Structure 1
């Protein structure tokens, strides 16, 4: 028990910090990526896809807000599934979360490196990405509060740029650029176009679900977690509709569907390449990418820390810095491996593995809300999911639909994703299940619950 106590994280976060981190880890999705689904979907199709994904994320956030108050542990998704469906389901959920963020981190880093290299051609992309990694790994090792302060600055700059674009661009929107001319179909490929746009619409919300992993670092998670999670997803819902509408209304569907930097491109299409806002978005817009990158490092390190503390992964990865109380090995080692992966493989393909891992965890978390309501109706919940079970069931169905959509994106990497989970299962049965630490908070609570049940049965 004393050994496990020495692996507890420092409590410093407030609802404001949670909102900052939640919005910050996602906000780069407004700056790039979402527009690549436009060719097949058009504006209306993208709006529908965004609404579908927005509903999935909103309803999931309502559910995980309940779970975060009942099970306020660093394991987050892993701890929810562990309690609801047992150790194997918890472990595989954790693997899905790690895949999501572990793969996403170096991909975003390469994007940042390419952006810096564009602004400063003498700087090599890989070198710039490596510098970003080193800097933010140091920030995270120093402490969560210090990181949250820096993240707040990045988020407010990124938000200010978006609001500025809305303010300047909204009066200049052209209806024909949104809806096309009279003989142009509103949704170029109908239902197939909407289906194809779903993975891109996910980028406007992907990663908000990481907030429960900060429960152990939140001052009062039973009250603060729902405030942080729900305020974050509501902010992202507003941004998603505003960004897509203004950007497409300025740049047009055809032009925007291939733009690697959609926001500066949209403003430049309407006002010219030399317009001050286009220049500002092209340079300062980099902070949105940096905000998300730093949040992704936080996410993968906390899930690896929790699984390692519980014995599913090598315990050395749960080692905390003696004075800062941060999991420095869970921060640095995956970062080094992730950067190597991006050098060796195509980031566009790796991102499919990241999305697959995310959707596995979404399915598991929605199932956990439903199962725990039936299995443990008396579990203390300071917040309960509104309109339950409707909200959790709808989010679950949409997550299942989305995971099958990834089959059509690239069947090879879909099978690679399946293969990763097969290897993870073999590893679990060959090694991990014999080394589970029952003193870890996520495991200890479960064992105590079993003991109470046995006593009641007697």
Structure 2
């Protein structure tokens, strides 16, 4: 399709459920390899377990909301499009921007870690050129086509997940060395009391951060009404199991005071085992999961930017689809300078915290979009709602509550980041609300989505 054609812009529909799984799990699995262990520094083993369960509960409900909305709307913008259709333009712009920033910051963090791994192997190299190379290579991969990018993600993610599973079961079978010590689970249970357990929630999202992005490829799925719910829920189940295996294994191999500050906890746990096969396998898994996460974030962030551009919140220039590769190539390319700017800071924890803050903004708006969707279209017809989540909208209200509670825990250690993030999105909200006054907003539900007129309007 020519860029100057008057035909509607379309993305190629080729993705299947395993691509959706690979996108969601690929983005998130890096959180099992690193970052989650900061929950241990705050609240010990009990704090980490509490954060795993509470954040896991929130993400299960977010995934159910995303599955219902994604399979219904089948649009590339994901949370942005849901807010645009069911909440309003100001909220839509904020969600689109939050999704973009969440994934771009995560891409930068992943690229920084890959550079650190490379430097640990080859001490003479500089980290920043490696970071640039990783970002550029993955941008090019997504520029060439989404199928190739997500096939790569599937291979990388499956290998990294297999490493966790093998490590866990070899340890259970007693074949992972004799260094696993169950006393570590008790001695480091609550070093900072109940306040520490609550404070650990701020890093709980790292176990699952970004799984909602699996629904952002809905417009490129061959059968989105099946692929989105199946891929999204399979991904969430995978992450819950991987998180539990990771915490159990690492907590036994590494004392609490060391686990809470470890850069690569799974790899360090493997080194404690002394088994060369596991050390090599977990080293490869650490590298692969960082690459898979960075690759998936390029895909998701570019789709959010593409959707914002297509609806004229940004210049329409970014909404061009490549005539040969059928990718939003300009939106993909634009992810590169923003990710480099984040990476240039070099402050990994600050970049991660901004990504978490942006994600939590989305976790408030995604369930709120579902609540509005249910009010506007209460009928449970196959055309409007091919997937129906259980216990809605009550789960959506509870999700909003949990997201706000977890966001409040950032006050312990990252209060300035929290204030800066919220001010950033408030300013952006007013800017986009002002900008949207000159943009015509009409929803032709029949023509755009094939739906009847809503029973309840905004």
Under a length normalisation based on structure 2, what TM-score does the superposition of the two structures give? 0.91
**2:195 counterpart SS class:** helix
Deviations 1:218-244 (A, max 9, x none): 011112210010011011001110111
1:179 equivalent to 2:183? Answer no
From 78, 98, 101, the counterpart of 1:99: 101
C-alpha separation in 2, matches of 1:113 and 1:338: 14
Cα gap change, 1:428 to 1:240, in 2 (>3 Å): same
C-alpha separation in 2, matches of 1:347 and 1:436: 41
| Distance apart, 1:455 and its partner CA | 12
| Distance apart, 1:445 and its partner CA | 3.7
Cα gap change, 1:451 to 1:259, in 2 (>3 Å): closer
Cα gap change, 1:337 to 1:436, in 2 (>3 Å): farther
From 237, 242, 245, the counterpart of 1:242: 245
C-alpha separation in 1, matches of 2:440 and 2:161: 43
C-alpha separation in 2, matches of 1:47 and 1:305: 38
Cα gap change, 1:44 to 1:11, in 2 (>3 Å): same
1:337 equivalent to 2:338? Answer yes
1:42 equivalent to 2:44? Answer yes
Deviations 1:274-316 (A, max 9, x none): 7442244234521111111101111100000011111111211
| Distance apart, 1:187 and its partner CA | 2.1
Cα gap change, 1:355 to 1:298, in 2 (>3 Å): same
Query: 2:20–2:215: 8 Å Cα contact kept in structure 1?
Result: no
User: Partner of 2:255 in structure 1?
Assistant: 252
Deviations 1:407-430 (A, max 9, x none): 333222222212321331343144
C-alpha separation in 1, matches of 2:241 and 2:455: 50
1:388 equivalent to 2:389? Answer no
Cα gap change, 1:157 to 1:447, in 2 (>3 Å): same
C-alpha separation in 1, matches of 2:431 and 2:251: 47
C-alpha separation in 2, matches of 1:303 and 1:63: 18
User: Partner of 1:298 in structure 2?
Assistant: 299
From 197, 204, 208, the counterpart of 2:207: 204
Cα gap change, 1:343 to 1:428, in 2 (>3 Å): same
1:232 equivalent to 2:230? Answer no
User: Partner of 1:398 in structure 2?
Assistant: 402
Cα gap change, 1:10 to 1:433, in 2 (>3 Å): farther
- The range that moved more, 193-202 or 137-146, is 193-202
C-alpha separation in 2, matches of 1:447 and 1:344: 46
User: Partner of 1:22 in structure 2?
Assistant: 24
User: Partner of 2:157 in structure 1?
Assistant: 155
Deviations 1:236-291 (A, max 9, x none): 0011101111111122222211211111211223x34x744224423452111111
**1:30 counterpart SS class:** helix
Cα gap change, 1:128 to 1:455, in 2 (>3 Å): closer
Query: 2:376–2:455: 8 Å Cα contact kept in structure 1?
Result: no
Query: 1:256–1:266: 8 Å Cα contact kept in structure 2?
Result: no
**1:285 counterpart SS class:** helix
User: Partner of 2:316 in structure 1?
Assistant: 315
C-alpha separation in 1, matches of 2:191 and 2:7: 58
C-alpha separation in 2, matches of 1:283 and 1:219: 32
User: Partner of 2:131 in structure 1?
Assistant: 129
Query: Which segments of 5 or more consecutive residues in structure 2 lack a partner in the other structure?
Result: none
**1:431 counterpart SS class:** helix
C-alpha separation in 1, matches of 2:210 and 2:286: 20
| Distance apart, 1:454 and its partner CA | 9.6
| Distance apart, 1:4 and its partner CA | 7.3
Query: 2:446–2:453: 8 Å Cα contact kept in structure 1?
Result: no
User: Partner of 1:214 in structure 2?
Assistant: 217
Query: 1:119–1:283: 8 Å Cα contact kept in structure 2?
Result: no
Query: 1:310–1:437: 8 Å Cα contact kept in structure 2?
Result: no
Query: 2:119–2:125: 8 Å Cα contact kept in structure 1?
Result: yes
C-alpha separation in 1, matches of 2:441 and 2:168: 51
**1:317 counterpart SS class:** helix
Query: 1:20–1:155: 8 Å Cα contact kept in structure 2?
Result: yes
Cα gap change, 1:369 to 1:11, in 2 (>3 Å): same
Query: 2:47–2:190: 8 Å Cα contact kept in structure 1?
Result: yes
- The range that moved more, 316-325 or 298-307, is 316-325
Query: 1:312–1:436: 8 Å Cα contact kept in structure 2?
Result: no
- The range that moved more, 403-412 or 44-53, is 403-412
Measured on the aligned residues, the alpha-carbon RMSD in Å equals 2.5
| Distance apart, 1:130 and its partner CA | 0.9
User: Partner of 1:358 in structure 2?
Assistant: 359
Cα gap change, 1:176 to 1:97, in 2 (>3 Å): same
Cα gap change, 1:49 to 1:373, in 2 (>3 Å): same
Query: 1:313–1:432: 8 Å Cα contact kept in structure 2?
Result: no
Cα gap change, 1:435 to 1:189, in 2 (>3 Å): same
Query: 2:30–2:286: 8 Å Cα contact kept in structure 1?
Result: no
Under a length normalisation based on structure 1, what TM-score does the superposition of the two structures give? 0.91
User: Partner of 1:431 in structure 2?
Assistant: 435
